[in-house]
Amino acid sequence: MPQHKKMTSSPVERLAQQALEDLDVVLSHPHLSSVDIVVDGSQQPIRIPRSVASALREVLANSAAGRPVEVVPVRKELTTQQAADLLHVSRPHVVKLIDTGVLTGHKVGAHRRLYADDVFAFKRERDEAQRTTVDE
């Protein structure tokens, strides 16, 4: 049986992994309300709220795993096509999910729109249900 070697990670993935590990150490202290980040070549640290550091942690985790990352504001309105792209389904399927009440959407003129946080919540629930089904 042929053995498959794990591909070597890229320099970006390795750097993201190291930053992730460092940030995890900092975030393991629950009493911290902010985190200071030092940029190479700068003497002045940048102070960010803990919630932003937690979001940065998610970006680093995905980057370390070689997955592309896009930051989307939670209340950003998405078109049905954008939602379909995020969910890896067809646009008509998203329309059906809205029409049946599975996904929350609203109309802007004649067009349907969805909030990004609703789409992400649906995706998390769907993915968790799929993992549960596979585990059974």
Residues 8-19 have a mean pLDDT of 91
Query: Is residue 7's pLDDT more than 70?
Result: no
How far, in Å, are 9, 10, 17, 63, 74 from residue 5 at the CA level? Answer: 12, 15, 20, 21, 39
pLDDT at 8: 59
Tell me yes or no: is domain 77-135 CATH 3.10.580.10: no
Mean pLDDT value across residues 20-38: 94
Q: How confident is the model over 33-66, as pLDDT tens digits?
A: 999 999 888 889 999 999 999 999 999 999 999 9
Pairing of strands 106-108, 111-115: antiparallel
- CATH 1.10.1660.10 domain locations along the chain: 77-135
Q: What is the pLDDT of the chain when averaged over all its residues?
A: 90
Q: Quote the pLDDT of residue 77.
A: 95
Spatial CA neighbour of 15 closest among 56, 69, 64, 58: 64
Q: What is the pLDDT of residues 73-98, one digit of tens each?
A: 878 999 999 999 999 999 999 999 99
